[in-house]
Structure 1
Amino acid sequence: MKKIFSVAVEGNIGSGKTTLLNFFKKYRNVEVLVEPVEKWKNIKGFNSLDLMYKDATRWSSAFQSYVTLTMLQNHHYHNDEINIRMTERSVYSARYCFIENLYKSKLMPEIDYAMLGEWHDWIKTNAEAQLDIIVYLQAKPETCLTRIAERNRHEELGVPLDYLQTLDSLHNDWLIKKIHGEVPAKVIIINTDGNKEDVIKQIQAVESEVMCGIQPLL
């Protein structure tokens, strides 16, 4: 089986992940796998995402367990016609940003946090979820809030600034301060505070590095 390089695109809500993924989506040797939100919204007719938003204390553990499963499915996607598998987020940000936030916000019981922690520890060593590159899109929470308001997605309505500030801190703790230990891959940081044209220029500047040296095919 040929080597497929695995790239995870990480960052806050509204940090520019869609812009970057669309930039690389045009290459036929790159497979872009977005967050499997549609799966989260329909598990045999149940909308787990909506349940989470309505009652996080009740549903956070079940939801994050399912998020982890669907992220693993993305990690294991294989197609012999591609060289790069590029995922929107990963099992790692699920653990170190979103599960961490739920626990610190007292929306997840300690026993659930401990069980999910063991589940993720096992994944790191046994489930072939290795990454080659992490692209961290770094934008100020205020920038993210402005973009969220402009794109007006239903599931993002009412996202407060303090939530974005918390996620920003958790991403920095994980990828820059490395408070959880060594990061599982090389981290490429792109500042995405500028307008779309500026962000694309920033992406172009590191394109070869993000592609792991692989020649992009149009």
Structure 2
Amino acid sequence: MFIGISGIIGAGKSTLAQDLASRLGYEVYNEPVKDNPYLEDFYADMKHWGAMMQIHLLFRRFEQHQQIVWNKGKGAVQDRTIYEDTIFASMLHEDGFIDQRDYQTYLGHFNLMKRFLVYPDILIYLRVEPETSVQRITDRGRKAEAGITLDYMKKLHQGYEDFIEEMENYTRVLVLDWTQFLEVDEVVERVSEKANEKREFLRDLRNS
């Protein structure tokens, strides 16, 4: 099974991805940010580095997604899916940090890559209010995230809400209130329930 973990910055995706993968015996695929050569420059000057940042991340996420697809023999938990990348790119474009030409180039790459993608079997959305995520970002104290504002997080939160509504048309979405962290066993139980929904639907379809 391929499980994607979705949520705004500071939601708690990385921790859950690690815990869930460990509990299930799955491979964990962390978000490719540690060796991102554009990250600090991007937060310091979004207009100059916005397009290159998003194209770099898109290529890295595509590479990771393909690794998951090729590794069919083992389950996978991915910290942020490639589909969410479009939320950030769209916001940067709307805010004037990526111009129309670069944005169209980005979308061209993404739409081409989509032909080779498969949706996660289950997408877990960690719903967190922007104020909570900003506090968590402050608490973890990453230098590259120091410039993230509450207004930015509010807009990102709305982008994610719209994204999740759209993704429900393509895969099973499990929405968890992540204001307070749940025990991993409870998450496993909820994932199991969501996975069984499709099995029950297919069984009913066969018997109809």
TM-score, reference length from structure 1: 0.80
Shift in CA distance, 199/15, structure 1 to aligned 2, threshold 3 Å: farther
Which aligned runs of 4 or more in structure 1 are off by greater than 4 angstroms? Answer: 199-202
User: How far apart, CA to CA, are the structure 1 residues paired with 2:193 and 2:164?
Assistant: 18
1:44 aligned partner: none
Confirm or deny that 1:87 pairs with 2:78.
yes
Post-superposition Cα deviations, 1:69-118, rounded to whole Å, max 9, x if no partner, equal 11011111144652x211111221001x1101101111110111112112
- SS at the partner of 1:37? coil
Structure 1 residue identity aligned to 2:191:
E
Listed as ranges, the gaps of 5+ residues in structure 2 are: 197-208
- SS at the partner of 2:93? helix
Say which of 98, 102, 115 aligns to 1:108. Answer: 98
Q: Which has the higher helix share?
A: 2
Equivalent pairs, count: 194
Post-superposition Cα deviations, 1:32-58, rounded to whole Å, max 9, x if no partner, equal 111111231xxxxxx211221222212
Q: How does 1:1-218 map to 2 (within 5 A)?
A: 5-27=1-23, 29-40=25-36, 47-77=37-67, 78-79=70-71, 82=74, 84-95=75-86, 97-125=87-115, 127-176=116-165, 178=166, 183-194=169-180, 196=181, 198=182, 200=184, 203-209=187-193, 212=195
User: How far apart, CA to CA, are the structure 2 residues paired with 1:112 and 1:169?
Assistant: 23
- SS at the partner of 1:206? helix
Post-superposition Cα deviations, 1:121-178, rounded to whole Å, max 9, x if no partner, equal 12112x23432221111011111112112222222223211111111000011112x3
1:182 Cα deviation from its structure 2 partner: 6.3
Listed as ranges, the gaps of 5+ residues in structure 1 are: 41-46, 214-218
Q: CA RMSD in A?
A: 2.2
1:216 aligned partner: none
TM-score, reference length from structure 2: 0.83
User: How far apart, CA to CA, are the structure 2 residues paired with 1:146 and 1:166?
Assistant: 16
Shift in CA distance, 69/184, structure 1 to aligned 2, threshold 3 Å: farther
